[in-house]
Amino acid sequence: MNYQARDQLLAALSEERAAVREFVELLQREQLLLTENDIEPLLPLAEKKSANAVRLNQLSEACRRLLEKISPKLDNGEIEAWMKAGCTEALSMWREVRTLAGQAKQLNNVN
């Protein structure tokens, strides 16, 4: 893998990871407001959550396109193997993004 592609992937994953973390925090805040029956702040929070979801989808798509150049199959096992062999820094970020995305999905379903 050339350094430019590696650096682009690392930057994209880093940005996506930060966005997913922020999204999880919003969902946790939403959950707290719902459990406290504090509905007034929910509308602005919902607007922010919607905007973050759009941004997160854009970042996810950008990462997918970069990974597609590397691994046309886009199979999780193949991507992990490639990252282990050629870009170990990306592997931990990619795993964290996947874990956080699962957490966000679970929180969103509960809320």
Question: Does the model's pTM come out above 0.75?
Answer: yes
CA distances from 46 to 60, 67, 107 (A): 20, 31, 14
CA separation for the pair 68, 19 (Å, rounded): 21
Q: What is the DSSP string of 39-72?
A: -TTHHHHHHHHHHHHHHHHHHHHHHHHHHHHH-T
- pLDDT tens for 62-77 read 999 988 887 777 788 8
Using an 8 Å Cβ cutoff, are 69 and 87 in contact? Answer: no
- pLDDT tens for 81-109 read 888 887 889 999 999 999 999 999 999 99
CA separation for the pair 32, 47 (Å, rounded): 17
Q: What do you get for the CA distance between the two ends of the chain, in Å?
A: 42
Q: Look over the chain and give the mean of its residue pLDDT values, rounded to a whole number.
A: 91
